[in-house]
Amino acid sequence: MESQVRGGTRWKRFAVVMVPSVAATAAIGVALAQGALAASFSVSGQSFKVEAEKLEGWGFSQYGAIDEGYTLKGDKVEHPVAVSAFERAKITNMCQSVVTPTGIPGLEYVTLKLTAGTEGTKVSAKNLYIDVENLEADATFRHIDIGVAAQDASKGPGMAGGEERANPFGFAQQADYAELTGVQQTAWATTAGTFKLSDLKMSLHKGINECY
């Protein structure tokens, strides 16, 4: 499943890379009982989809966490996520979509769709955190370390600092550089110190009209 590529490691599907981090999330419940986790990070009751032709990231780390949120009916829920963090990132041909139920007969759903980085100038971000529920992509890493403690991951921007529940002694991985192509992901939250969206277009669509 892996081969050496340009001084790094390539996985055909990034889901393979995420297995250790997501599996490690199962141990978070024990840490919660022991008070070992940071304050919770509250998210909305809707996930969203992101598609991109390419994401390049410098200073990459990934660790398991739990986001807290509420359903659209107000019921409290918890979402195990893999937090992908980048010191710097460049994104080509990005599409983001979120579907909202309206409760209106004949107009049951409305989709908000956002595109950027589509006309030659890439989307750029600094200190980018993506709380991912599911991700598929082709991936190449340079100088990757697997199995470090989350708090000791030094190649990324560090843990999110109290904005989520994550065990500082839990499983993490890091790399100097990550290149993801053919990205399709479902996420609960994205935060960044700086997020520059070139060629930004935003539109509303009747019905379900997601990026993928």
pLDDT (0 to 100) of residue 36: 38
Triad 179, 182, 183: Cα angle to 5°: 75
Measured between alpha carbons, how far is 22 from 95 in angstroms, rounded to an integer?
25
Distances (CA, A) of 118 to 92, 169, 186: 7, 39, 20
pLDDT in tens, 19-76: 433 333 334 343 433 333 333 456 788 899 999 999 999 999 999 888 888 877 788 8
- Residue in 28, 20, 31 with CA at minimum distance from that of residue 146: 20
- Pick out the chain residues at pLDDT < 50: 1-7, 14-40
Average pLDDT value over all residues in the chain: 81
This prediction has a pTM of: 0.80
Count of other CB atoms within 10 angstroms of residue 204: 10
Our CA dihedral for 106, 97, 184, 200, rounded to 10 degrees, sits at 140
Q: Do the beta carbons of residue 21 and residue 64 sit within 8 Å?
A: yes
Residue that is written with structure tokens 């980048």 in the block: 86
Residue 24 pLDDT: 39
